[in-house]
Each structure stands twice: as structure tokens, then as C-alpha cells.
Amino acid sequence: MAQTAVADSDTGPSLTELARSHGLTKAGRLPRLPEYTRQLWSYRHFIAAFANAKVSASLGSTKLGVVWQLLTPLINAGVYYLIFGVLINTKQNVDNFIAYLCAGVFIFGFTQSVVQAGSQSITANIAMIRALHFPRASLPIAVSLVEVRNMIASMIVLVAIVLLTGEPVTFQWLLLIPALALQTIFNTGLALFVSRLISKVTDIRQLIPYILRIWMYGSAVLYPVTFFAERIDGWQLALVESNPMLIYIELVRHALMENVELATSAPLLWLQAAIWTVLVGFGGYVYFWRGEKGYGRG
């Protein structure tokens, strides 16, 4: 360490060696995964504040404000009631079709809005990324948190619908909480995955509406899950029934409603849901972390 700085001349030790001997760290170095996770944890207050800020910024220009969080799912359910309950008056061989439908719409909507907002979380905040230092994963995680708030509001509406349509309250309702917890982790992983992918390949953003639509049709949202078993079999059916969204929707219907026909047995559904949660949650996180230093490039 007893070394006078001789960096002005070319004859001294190389600048990189000088930097190392003084313990300087390379700008833009990727931290290891545990270190990154620790950093992220120390920014938890920022994540919460950013999520709150996003909600108040988006509702700030409306007169009703937070009431919209409850109104949006109510209107959504109303539209579906009007079309399927009144106009078409379909039952599709399901007792209590309205509750069945709304469970599907709300649970799918939860993931759908996370994907939509997550796809913008890097590109829309590029100025902030270029100006301030924080673990970038804070942004997609904040998006996921915002949608958890919206989801809780829509679950209140859903529970009201389920009760009004005559379902009994049972201990099975408690299963709603682990099901939604698994889906939240799944969604966060998905938001992380999508935000990095779209910051790299912006073209994919054009495809997202179509991907989401075909995903919705494959998730038995608007029709009963038995629809698939009646039409396809073998590997095709296995493929459709391993769809994570179909699994999460099934779990919620199973938790809240009596007499619903499931694609497979409930324990198997729980196992599949857990596998998807770990796979997408962890995979999305690692994928996002590996791109950490490139997000400022834009």
C-alpha cells in the first residue's frame, strides 16, 4: 500500500492494477445472487413506496380514487352476468355458472394485468433507471404488489358473488389463501421474466395481447374445464391440463364452491401448482438478475 500515485505517467503500474490495489470495485459489476437478494431486501421500503406511488399516480386524476379498485371488478362481473347470465342464459352443465365464470375471469385477470404492467416496468421507467441506483427487480416486483391490491379488491367482490349465488361457507374456503399466495409468486416471476424479455426484444410487446388471449381460451375461463376432456385426449389434453392458469383457477373454484368438476384430483392440482410456482418464480428471478447491468442501456 505504500505507493505514491504515479498514474499520470504511462510507465507506472497499469490503471487496472492500481484500482485493484486500492480496493475499488468495477462499475457495473453483477452482484452474486445471494448478495443481490440481500440488496433487494434492503430496498423493500422503496418497493412498497413505489407501488403505493404507482397506485396514487394512476388513480390521482380520478374523482372516485380508490373506489375504482372495487368498482372495476364489480363492473367486470356485471358485464359477464349480463351476457352469460341474462342474454345467453347458459348453464353449460355447471351449477352456479356465474360464480364459476367470475372466479375464472378474476383469477386470470390477476395474472393478465401483471403481465401487461410488467412488460412496461423497465421501458417506462428508463429515466429513473438511468438516474438512480437500486436493484432493478424492485420495479417488476412493485408491479406485482400493485396487482395484489387490485386482486384483493376483486376477491372481495368474488366472495360476495359466491355467497349471493347460494354457496355455503366451509373450512375449504381457507384454501383460497395458499392458492392466491402461490399465484402471486408465479406472477412475480412472470413479471420479472417478461420485463427483461421486452427490454431486450421490444417486438414481443406487439404479441402480448394475442398470447394472453390464447392463454385465456386455454385456461377454461369462459367455459367449464370438462370442455377439453370431451374434445381432445392423450398428450394434447395433458398439455392443456398442465396449463398453470387453468390449475390456479381450478384451485380457487375448488376452494370457494361445492360440486365443481375438476380436471384432476385436488392433491394433484396442488402439486402441479407448487411446481409451477417454484419453476416460474425462481426461474424468472434468476433470468432477470442475469440482465441486471444492461437495463440502463435501454
Q: Footprint of other proteins on this chain (CB under 8 A)?
A: 2-5, 7-8, 14-16, 18-20, 22-29, 42-43, 45-46, 49-50, 53, 56-57, 60-61, 127-134, 202, 293-294, 296-297
Q: Which is nearer to other proteins, 54 or 253 (CB)?
A: 54
Q: Which is nearer to other proteins, 14 or 236 (CB)?
A: 14
State the minimum distance, in angstroms, from the CB of residue 40 to other proteins. 12
State the minimum distance, in angstroms, from the CB of residue 113 to other proteins. 19
CB 97 within 8 A of CB 90: yes
Q: Which is nearer to other proteins, 59 or 175 (CB)?
A: 59
CB 261 within 8 A of CB 224: yes
CB 229 within 8 A of CB 171: no
State the minimum distance, in angstroms, from the CB of residue 279 to other proteins. 30
The values of phi and psi at residue 232, to 5°, are: -125, 165
Reported as half-sphere exposure (CB side, CA atoms, 13 A), residue 162 has a value of: 25
What torsion do the CA atoms of 289, 295, 296, 298 make, to the nearest 10 degrees? 170
State the minimum distance, in angstroms, from the CB of residue 24 to other proteins. 4
Q: How far is Cα 73 from Cα 68, in angstroms, rounded to an integer?
A: 9
Q: Which is nearer to other proteins, 228 or 295 (CB)?
A: 295
Reported as half-sphere exposure (CB side, CA atoms, 13 A), residue 79 has a value of: 8
Q: Which is nearer to other proteins, 88 or 128 (CB)?
A: 128
Q: Which is nearer to other proteins, 61 or 89 (CB)?
A: 61
Give the residue among 131, 138, 165 at the shortest CA–CA distance from 46: 138
State the minimum distance, in angstroms, from the CB of residue 211 to other proteins. 21
State the minimum distance, in angstroms, from the CB of residue 132 to other proteins. 5
| Degrees to nearest 5, angle at CA 267 with 266 and 269 | 65
Q: Which is nearer to other proteins, 8 or 230 (CB)?
A: 8
Q: Which is nearer to other proteins, 91 or 205 (CB)?
A: 205
Residue type, 92: Q
What is the C-alpha end-to-end distance of the chain, expressed in Å? 40
State the minimum distance, in angstroms, from the CB of residue 28 to other proteins. 4
CB 257 within 8 A of CB 164: no
C-alpha cell at 183: 399465484
Q: How far is CA 143 from CA 1, 26, 52, 121, in A?
A: 47, 30, 10, 7
State the minimum distance, in angstroms, from the CB of residue 112 to other proteins. 24
